[in-house]
Amino acid sequence: MANDDVTTQTSEEEGGRVEGGRRRCSGEDARIFQEDVEEEKEDLRWKPVRLRASDIAKCVGVHPFAEIDELFMNLIYQGAMGAATLKEDAEALGAVLETKEEAAERTLGKASRGTREAVERAAKRAMVTKTADGVTAVVRTATEAVDAAVKSAELSEKEGRDLKAHFANVARTDFGRRAEHPALRQYEQQTGSSVSHSNDRLFVWNLPGDNDDVLFCIVGKIDGIAVEARGSRRVVIEVKNRVNGRRPPVPPELYDQIQLLVYMYLAGCELGDLVQCVRGGKASRVEISRVTKAQHENDWKAIILPRLYDLARAVDDLRRSLQRRRAFLAASPKGRWDIAATLCDWLPHPSPNYAGIFFSEDHDGSNDLQLQRESTGMAAAQETRQHHEVDDDEDLEMQHALAASLQQHQ
């Protein structure tokens, strides 16, 4: 049945910019923009905190693999104002900024020509491979090349570990993105439903603060919206490509359900299907799990949304306090995570040996600091993921514990 509170307006392009139509969902506004519109050059002032739908579970403390210091870094220094502020703060601290990609390129540049060529060939193959086995093969090739470089002292053990983790993450993420379309086609064949709007719109949901100004917004692109074969109900589709070939968890992980729930709110839908596509060899199979807004509505209102408001206020306060912001930036990775967990007490604290985004001495031995966005923390998280993927029972117990944690805060 149509919801009388939901209205849509077709987007119109004006002067190279697309103004989004507005969708009202039970008193909450969401603006929709077309996909390939470049962001207008921002003036240098703080904009509302921008939360990605895929990060919401991390923000509310129910994603076991979140790196909270990196999450807060990205939120504090968002947009044009964030970039300018980060540059000023880094200069004040004597720091040199480096992205993940730049760190990987710098590390690879230290290796021999043979190592560089082997990794670069693997990277090119990874961009076009069409099977999960192909991804596994190119990751193995790159890993072997980097391991050989470490053994011959071209790279340190830590540099090798970070480079392998970065390569594997990029290769698997890119494959998952490219495999979304085939997964949607399999979903259509299996359900008889027709899927549309596959990642062709950016949804932006503005949420007001105390004075009705926008405090933060939730943004996301939806993999697809289907209309059920029998009936007219709209269903939000979220695809998860599993490349390890193992049985996907049913019910799906709590953090995956939360991501799908956010997309349902953005699209104004009551139903969602979590499509887990297991890819091993040339064959693949699809596991479809139905998620409803009603299942999570109480948790959304009593726990998730209040936590998002508190987190957005904490980030906004850090943005606007020079002393606290620079103290956060200058802290160790564990220190930054601890600051975030103190400000938002539902967030977990890091492990004692966490070394995610970190400062280290510059390579020439000077006192300049290097801000690196890739580290052993990523490799440790990767190992943790692999461990939990092997033990389905343990993983299910972990999800039950996370769900129980949510319930305790009601």
- Whether the pLDDT of residue 213 is over 80: the answer is yes
Q: Is the pLDDT of residue 392 over 70?
A: no
DSSP per residue, 116-164: HHHHHHHHHHHTT--SHHHHHHHHHHHHHHHHHHHHTTSS-HHHHHHHH
Q: Note the pLDDT of residue 4.
A: 34
The DSSP symbol for 5 reads: T
Can you give the residue range of the structural domain that contains 9? Answer: 1-31
Q: Report the CATH number that the domain containing residue 230 is assigned in CATH.
A: 3.90.320.10
User: Is 202 among the domain residues?
Assistant: yes
pLDDT at residue number 405: 43
For residue 285, tell me if it sits in a domain.
Answer: yes
> Is there a domain that residue 149 lies in?
no
Supply the Cα-derived Rg of the chain in whole angstroms. 22
pLDDT tens-place string over residues 178-211: 767 888 888 998 999 989 877 778 999 999 988 8
Q: Is the pLDDT of residue 174 over 60?
A: yes
Compare 127 and 294 and report the one with higher pLDDT.
294
104 within domain boundaries? no
Where is the domain boundary, 298, 325, 350?
A: 298
Confidence of residue 165 (pLDDT cuts 50, 70, 90): confident
Q: Which of 326-330, 333-337, 386-390, 392-396 has the lowest mean pLDDT?
A: 386-390
pLDDT tens-digit map of 238-262: 999 877 667 788 899 999 999 999 9
Give the whole-angstrom CA distance, residue 185 versus residue 180.
9
Please report whether residue 260 resides in a domain. yes
Instruction: For residue 248, say if its preceding peptide bond is cis, omega within 30 degrees of 0.
Output: no
- Identify the domain boundary among 298, 315, 338: 298
User: pLDDT of 339-380, one tens digit each?
Assistant: 999 999 999 999 887 866 433 333 333 323 334 333 323 233
Handedness of CA 302, 303, 306, 308 (dihedral sign): negative
When pLDDT is averaged across residues 103-121 and rounded to a whole number, the result is 91
Q: What is the mean pLDDT of the chain?
A: 77
Ranges 5-14, 38-47, 217-226, 354-363: which has the least confidence = 5-14
Amino acid 282: pLDDT: 58
Q: Could you give the number of structural domains in the chain?
A: 2
% of the chain at pLDDT higher than 70: 74
pTM for the model: 0.74
